[in-house]
Amino acid sequence: MVTDQLERLNRLPLRTNLRGLRPYGAPQLDVPILLNVNENTHGVPDDVRAAITEAVSAAAAGLNRYPDREFTELREALAEYLGHGLGAENIWAANGSNEVLQQILQAFGGPGRTALSFPPTYSMYPLLASGTDTEYIVGTRADDYGLSAESAARQVRELQPNIVFLCSPNNPTGTGLGPDVVEAVYEAGEASQTIVIVDEAYHEFAHDGTPSALALLPGRERLIISRTMSKAFALAGARLGYMAAAPEVADALRLVRLPYHLSAITQATALAALRHRVALMADVADIKRQRDRIVSELTRLGLKPAASDSNYVFFGGLENPHEVWQRLLDAGVLIRDVGIPGHLRVTAGTETETTAFLETLERILNSHARPRA
Ligand SMILES: Cc1ncc(COP(=O)(O)O)c(C=O)c1O
């Protein structure tokens, strides 16, 4: 936003906590290789696209009517996909998991309440807090960005937040949290009745055998697992996020959702993709291979990639990350400068995109932006 635009905005009677803010958003640049916002780089497979087109066409015939406000069929399909003995009553969905998180803050946060997360983590958490007038509390991690059960639980006990965000795998670092961390945080939040959100937006990309916090839901009515179809299901453009929790949590979100918030087109699209998930999950397997390839190649180049259970890799060891980011962009490869000294983050691409990224980076490192070590 240009200064003049910002000045005119600030002359409006804006809420105090929005004054001086700029809208959130990674740069949307028109370059050949986009590896900056952790999208699924593999496109929508042909059979899934055909199924979506057919489903949307059928839904179009009924667009004169409001959609199913309860999106029951979609909740049933999502529950079936998640397994873990969940039913439609445990599921809630909205236009992207960002909207689900916003609804959780509307229901359980708000003026006089607090939300805690552990940076570096997903940068929307503070913005969602500010948009709902929830005080945002910055927790701490270890120097290697790890978060132990003991440290997370201690911070929850001390700070007594109304809501805590645990991002697993964490964005931007890519590493997951063990069930021990979730269990300890949940227990530590007993006195303050803290709502514990485990954001599993990238869970499908985790290494085989990695447990989901879904297994911890029975008996924990303050626990919410947030998921999205934006990543593994290659549907970032369709906007469908969802959560699993005790049925009363879904009821709480019904109190704040706008009527008919999930369009009939969105419901039809998500259902079609869920029915055709075999092809989508084959692409997830390929993305995981590219992700592992990035980790091993960056190590060979003398950099320090973090272990990743997601579709992106966070890597350190750069003397001048912004210069490396700019030179990759000049060569047509957009990755993410997350503003952490010495580090950058790259999304796993198709094999061709990943090769282009790795070869361009190697060329840059061999010229003058040397790695630190
Ligand atoms: C950790 C995390 N959670 C949630 C989201 C939101 O995704 P969406 O609103 O597309 O479901 C993202 C998107 O990048 C993310 O990285």
Residue 260, domain CATH: 3.40.640.10
Q: What is the pLDDT of residue 17?
A: 83
User: 56 and 41: one domain?
Assistant: no
Q: What is the pLDDT of residue 3?
A: 76
* Ligand 1 center–CA 96 separation, angstroms: 7
Q: Is the CB of 169 under 6 A from ligand 1?
A: no
In a domain, 370, yes or no: no
Nearest residue CA, atom 3 of ligand 1? Answer: 201
User: 142 and 268: one domain?
Assistant: yes
How big is the CA angle at 120 (ends 115 and 122), to the nearest 5 degrees? 60
Q: Which of 161, 162, 122, 131 is nearest to 26 (CA)?
A: 122
By CB neighbour count within 10 A (0-12 exposed, 13-18 middle, 19+ buried), where does 5 fall? exposed
Q: What is the pLDDT of residue 368?
A: 66
Q: Is the CB of 308 under 6 A from ligand 1?
A: no
Q: Is the CB of 98 under 6 A from ligand 1?
A: yes
* Ligand 1 center–CA 140 separation, angstroms: 21
Q: Is the CB of 200 under 6 A from ligand 1?
A: no
What's the token pair of residue 347?
């999304």
Mean pLDDT, 10 residues at a time, the chain of 373 residues? 81 88 79 95 95 98 97 98 98 98 98 97 95 97 96 98 98 96 98 98 96 98 98 97 98 97 98 95 97 98 96 96 96 95 97 97 83 52
Q: What is the pLDDT of residue 320?
A: 93
User: 186 and 291: one domain?
Assistant: no
Q: What is the pLDDT of residue 10?
A: 85
Q: What is the pLDDT of residue 20?
A: 82
Q: Using the 3D structure, point to which of 243, 276, 309 is the last residue of a domain.
A: 276
Q: Is the CB of 122 under 6 A from ligand 1?
A: yes
* Ligand 1 center–CA 329 separation, angstroms: 23
Number of separate domains in the chain: 2
355 HSE (CA, 13 A, CB side)? 3
How far is Cα 125 from Cα 140, in angstroms, rounded to an integer?
Answer: 15
User: 233 and 297: one domain?
Assistant: no
Q: What is the pLDDT of residue 18?
A: 84
User: 75 and 7: one domain?
Assistant: no
Q: What is the pLDDT of residue 79?
A: 98
Q: What is the pLDDT of residue 6?
A: 82
